[in-house]
Amino acid sequence: MKLLERARPEILALQPYSSARMESGVAATMLNANESPWPASCTAPALNRYPDPQPAPLRAALAGFYAVAPGNILIGRGSDEAIDLLVRAFCRPGYDAITIASPTFGMYAVAARVQGADVTEVPLTPGFVLDAKALLAAVTPDTKLVFVCSPNNPTGGLVPLPMLAHLAQALRDRAVLVVDEAYIEFADGAASAMTLLDRHDNVAVLRTLSKAHALAGARVGVLIAAAPLVALVRRIQAPYPLPMPSVDAALSALSVSALAATDQRVTAICRERERMARALAGLAEVLAVFDSAANFLCVRFVDARKAWRRLAASGIVVRDVSRYPQLADCLRITIGTPEENAALLGALDARKAAA
């Protein structure tokens, strides 16, 4: 796979750490990992053994759910870990770069800067649409990763699949197109970039159980990519990245009944999103509510600081994103329960606030 030649040579040459669990798996008497032979008295189930680095049952369940082969999956500590690992596997400090379409999720730039890699920012168009031509024009021989967030955090816009296919094709053998789909479940059945994997071995898709699956506290994210790319990233992942309680929670979340409940929550959030978009657009202090395919709305206010303070005074926190490029006076508002959403609208209503 030619793309792998773009990875850091020192990572390709690295002898990865080999953990006890990787070398020998599970046996009747396990005296190879310096674990306690007794469980702690305070935990049920027992946690005295190191976890399987990539538990086969969870890998199989996720592979089934995402309709890919288990070899196309790397499970990690949230998709944040996958972002970090991809940057560290590909970007040589002081030489290489990533490209992002801003405003977008902040972790891509942070991971790159921690690694000492450059960040090239290409602005979205004024309507918050990805400018594929400008993005490709910004890619240089030093660019190793191009991050596209779809639906985009914090603007909410979905990137059309044909545009992603075009980007993947144009970046072939040069850079990894990382498509972050943290919110795709809220995008009204939009096709995932996973459907591009068959024809584009330079696509890496990030999925997470943190948002639609309601497991942010478990920290489980998934990198889905061509098997050689997954194997490369696996070389630099920590030896035991997945805590057993998180693995159990993830397995439960993928049961038939849990998935049905997830569908219901997603439907409810999408319904509330449309209701909130209309209601917010009708408020005097709101200038614009941007179209969102995620579980939040990006809203431009006459005075975002003032709106933020009024909400805070009612015990409601939203995200002030006004420091992002192109997002002056914008707040990012997560869709909550119908009661929480009603409280937010009530707190913003100037007449009620004045009364």
Ligand X SMILES: *Cc1c(COP(=O)(O)O)cnc(C)c1O
Q: Least separation, in Å, of the C-beta of 239 and ligand X?
A: 20
Task: Go through 105-121 and write b for each residue having 16 or more CB atoms within 10 A of its CB, e for each that does not.
Answer: bebbbebbeebebbbbe
Residue whose CB is nearest to ligand X in the complex, by number = 78
Q: Report the distance separating Cα 71 and Cα 197, nearest Å.
A: 13
Q: Least separation, in Å, of the C-beta of 135 and ligand X?
A: 17
Q: Which residue from 192, 188, 174 is spatially nearest to 295, judged by alpha carbons? A: 188
Q: Total number of residues binding ligand X (CB under 6 A)?
A: 12
292 binds ligand X (CB under 6 A): no
Q: Least separation, in Å, of the C-beta of 333 and ligand X?
A: 14
**Site for ligand X (CB under 6 A): which residue of 143, 150, 208, 246?**
208
| Pick 168 or 321: Cβ nearer ligand X | 321
Q: Least separation, in Å, of the C-beta of 166 and ligand X?
A: 21
Binding mask 142-181 for ligand X (x = CB under 6 A): -------x---x--------------------------x-
Helices (H), the chain: 9-13, 20-24, 56-66, 78-90, 107-115, 132-137, 161-170, 227-234, 244-253, 256-281, 304-313, 338-348, 350-354
| Pick 115 or 210: Cβ nearer ligand X | 210
Binding mask 89-128 for ligand X (x = CB under 6 A): ----------------x-----------------------
216 binds ligand X (CB under 6 A): yes
For residue 166, the one-letter residue type is H
Q: Report the distance separating Cα 251 and Cα 258, nearest Å.
A: 10
78 binds ligand X (CB under 6 A): yes
Q: Least separation, in Å, of the C-beta of 128 and ligand X?
A: 14
Stretches 4-12, 50-58, 76-84, 309-317: which one binds ligand X (CB under 6 A)?
Answer: 76-84
Q: Least separation, in Å, of the C-beta of 36 and ligand X?
A: 30
Q: Least separation, in Å, of the C-beta of 226 and ligand X?
A: 21
Site for ligand X in 180-199 (CB under 6 A): 180, 182
| Pick 220 or 348: Cβ nearer ligand X | 220
Q: Are 104 and 111 in contact (CB under 8 A)?
A: no
Structure tokens at 251: 């397995």
For residue 226, the one-letter residue type is A
Q: Least separation, in Å, of the C-beta of 306 and ligand X?
A: 26
Crossing angle, helix 256-281 and helix 244-253, to 10 degrees? 80
Q: Report the distance separating Cα 173 and Cα 1, nearest Å.
A: 8
**Site for ligand X (CB under 6 A): which residue of 176, 221, 332, 348?**
221
End-to-end CA distance of the chain: 67
Q: Which residue from 86, 65, 68 is spatially nearest to 178, judged by alpha carbons? A: 86
Q: Report the distance separating Cα 84 and Cα 106, nearest Å.
A: 12
342 forms beta bridges with: none
Stretches 24-32, 77-85, 190-198, 231-239: which one binds ligand X (CB under 6 A)?
Answer: 77-85
Enumerate binding residues for ligand X (CB under 6 A). Answer: 78-80, 105, 149, 153, 180, 182, 208, 210, 216, 221
